[in-house]
């Protein structure tokens, strides 16, 4: 009873809440880091150094008027933010934050579940998230959101191909689709897959930037061309859902990158005995630390690089990343066959 219902339920509650809190703080971190990059202070008024800003933002978004345009498709308009948010949250079901640990005299796994098609689950759930964006643009019945949503979905579909191909080469190396087994494979190989599959990692990260609509690929939100992007007509909490979904997706990409390429919960150099003192830091802390580095790079890239033009974006996706990913996959396959 406790093991089948209570423990998983508790884990789900903890993971969901932790995700939502970290999403709101990601927004603050982003504003702060970009402000520092531009020699500004960023939010300073609410709480010391603005650390209570997310609370103020949440209250503001909740009490704002919720407007539905008269000509909008009401049902789809209401459903779109939910469709965008749900896939971003249910992906966390398979992300391993740590191995099995004993907690209060009970063996507890630091992941909600470990299914044998874990990685495929992540990809397929993420592929449903695109509906939120397409439908938001369509249901608003307004030209800028429609253009933005067409851009966004074309971009997502194009980069999904490259990202999925890189995942296949990781699966080839690890020999499993389960997220936990992929981390275990890195433990037994004694090397992070980022060093085995550097090309795959670079393509995955660029594709991840594009799939989360982040700079330099944030064309769906290009203010100069499209006002606010696909969520122009949304206000209040519904707008907030899109915003949260974007940041939750960033955390997903960072967590998947950590799991697949940077050893998940493993400490650096897991096979070097001399560094055993690093185990004083618990495994889940290593996972969070590595994911945080990726999230920081997301913000760093946004503060650094200018936006791509649309044709450049498509050329990069179809003519550079996808052929490179296919080549990488073929080479990985050949090397694997020769080495076995």
Gap between the Cα atoms of 11 and 110, Å rounded: 8
Classify 126 as helix, strand or coil: helix
Residue closer to other proteins by CB (options 26, 177) is: 177
Rg of the chain taking only CA atoms, in angstroms: 21
Instruction: Kindly give, in sequence order, each residue whose CB lies less than 8 Å from that of residue 312, ignoring residues fewer than 6 positions away.
Output: none
User: Whose structure tokens read 């049902």?
Assistant: 75
Instruction: Kindly tell me the burial class for residue 307, based on how many C-beta atoms sit within 10 Å of its own C-beta (0-12, 13-18, 19 or more).
Output: middle
**CB of residue 164 vs other proteins: minimum separation in angstroms?**
8
Kindly report the length of the chain: 340
User: Whose structure tokens read 């592929």?
Assistant: 127
Interface positions with other proteins (CB under 8 A): 73, 75-76, 79, 115-117, 120-121, 123-128, 130-131, 134-135, 138, 146, 150, 153, 157, 177
Residue closer to other proteins by CB (options 135, 180) is: 135
How is 85-104 classified by DSSP, letter by letter?
A: HHHHHHGGGG---S-EEEET
Contact at 8 Å (CB) between 146 and 154? no
Contact at 8 Å (CB) between 141 and 314? no
**CB of residue 146 vs other proteins: minimum separation in angstroms?**
8
**CB of residue 155 vs other proteins: minimum separation in angstroms?**
12
> φ, ψ for residue 272 (rounded to 5)?
-95, 115
Residue closer to other proteins by CB (options 141, 227) is: 141
Gap between the Cα atoms of 215 and 234, Å rounded: 22
Residue closer to other proteins by CB (options 91, 299) is: 91
Residue closer to other proteins by CB (options 98, 129) is: 129
Residue closer to other proteins by CB (options 146, 321) is: 146
Residue closer to other proteins by CB (options 135, 244) is: 135
**CB of residue 150 vs other proteins: minimum separation in angstroms?**
8
> φ, ψ for residue 69 (rounded to 5)?
-60, 145
**CB of residue 75 vs other proteins: minimum separation in angstroms?**
7
Nearest CA among 80, 89, 52, 69 for reference residue 244: 89
* Pairing label, strands 100-103, 106-109: antiparallel
Residue closer to other proteins by CB (options 74, 106) is: 74
**CB of residue 158 vs other proteins: minimum separation in angstroms?**
12
Where b means 16+ CB within 10 Å and e means fewer, 13-26 reads: eebeeebeebbbeb
**CB of residue 211 vs other proteins: minimum separation in angstroms?**
12
**CB of residue 112 vs other proteins: minimum separation in angstroms?**
15
């Amino acid at each position: 009873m406790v093991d089948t219902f209570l423990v998983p339920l508790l884990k789900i509650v903890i993971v969901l809440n932790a995700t939502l809190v970290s999403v709101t703080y990601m927004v603050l971190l982003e504003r702060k880091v970009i402000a520092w990059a531009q020699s500004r202070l960023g939010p300073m008024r609410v709480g010391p150094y603005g650390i209570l800003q997310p609370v103020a933002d949440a209250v503001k978004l909740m009490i704002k008027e919720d407007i539905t345009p008269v000509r909008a498709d009401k049902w789809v308009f209401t459903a779109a933010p939910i469709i965008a948010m749900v896939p971003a949250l249910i992906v966390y079901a398979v992300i391993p934050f740590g191995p099995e640990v004993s907690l209060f005299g009970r063996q507890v796994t630091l992941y909600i579940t470990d299914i044998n098609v874990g990685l495929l689950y992540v990809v397929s759930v993420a592929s449903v998230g695109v509906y939120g964006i397409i439908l938001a643009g369509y249901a608003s019945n307004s030209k800028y959101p429609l253009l933005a949503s067409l851009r966004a979905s074309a971009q997502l579909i194009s980069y999904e191909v490259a990202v999925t191909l890189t995942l296949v080469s990781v699966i080839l190396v690890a020999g499993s689709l389960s997220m936990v087994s992929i981390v275990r494979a890195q433990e037994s190989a004694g090397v992070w897959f980022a060093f085995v599959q550097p090309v795959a990692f670079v393509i995955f990260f660029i594709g991840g930037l594009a799939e989360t609509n982040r700079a330099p690929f944030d064309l769906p939100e290009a203010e100069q061309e499209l006002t606010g992007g696909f969520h122009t007509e949304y206000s209040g909490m519904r707008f907030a859902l899109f915003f949260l979904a974007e940041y939750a997706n960033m955390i997903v990409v960072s967590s998947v990158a950590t799991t697949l390429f940077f050893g998940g919960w493993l400490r650096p150099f897991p096979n070097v005995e001399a560094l055993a003192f690093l185990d004083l830091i618990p495994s889940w802390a290593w996972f969070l630390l590595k994911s945080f580095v990726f999230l920081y790079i997301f913000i760093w890239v946004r503060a650094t690089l200018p936006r791509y033009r649309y044709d450049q974006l498509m050329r990069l996706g179809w003519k550079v990343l996808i052929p490179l990913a296919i080549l990488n996959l073929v080479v990985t396959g050949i090397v694997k066959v020769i080495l076995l």
